[in-house]
Amino acid sequence: MNLQQKIYKRLLEVPKGQITTYGALAKAVGLKNGQRVVGQIMNKNPYPVIIPCHRVVMSTGKIGGYAYGEHVKTKMLNDEGIQIKNGRIVNLKNILYRF
């Protein structure tokens, strides 16, 4: 299994209504300081409907980028019950998935 597959497999564990961070996902697959690598892999996700890359946010609570635009990511997260205010996740610690 290559790195991309490992990352996607771990991301599939994150349920609707919860999020993870780029850094936490990197650590979950054994990458130290691999946030950028995770971001690059998320950006190239060929299966955004299946692999929920919209559930990966920045550790600061900012929603971060999305290949289809931040407004689409915001809507998808809102549709899953995640509140966003001024581009940041509300109650980040309460909805953060722990690997």
Whole-angstrom distance, CA of residue 93 vs CA of residue 51: 22
What does the alpha-carbon distance between residue 27 and residue 49 come to, in Å, rounded to a whole number?
Answer: 24
Structural domain that includes position 47: 3-95
CB count, 10 Å around CB of 7? 24
Query: Could you list the active site residues?
Result: 53
The DSSP-derived string for 29-98 is TT-TT-HHHHHHHHHT-S-TTTS-GGGEE-TTSB----TT-HHHHHHHHHHTT--EETTEETTHHHHB--
Residue 28: CATH number of its domain: 1.10.10.10
pTM recorded for the entire structure: 0.94
The pLDDT tens digits of the residues spanning 41-97 come to 999 999 988 999 999 999 999 999 898 999 999 999 999 999 999 999 999 999 999
The structural domain count of the chain equals 1
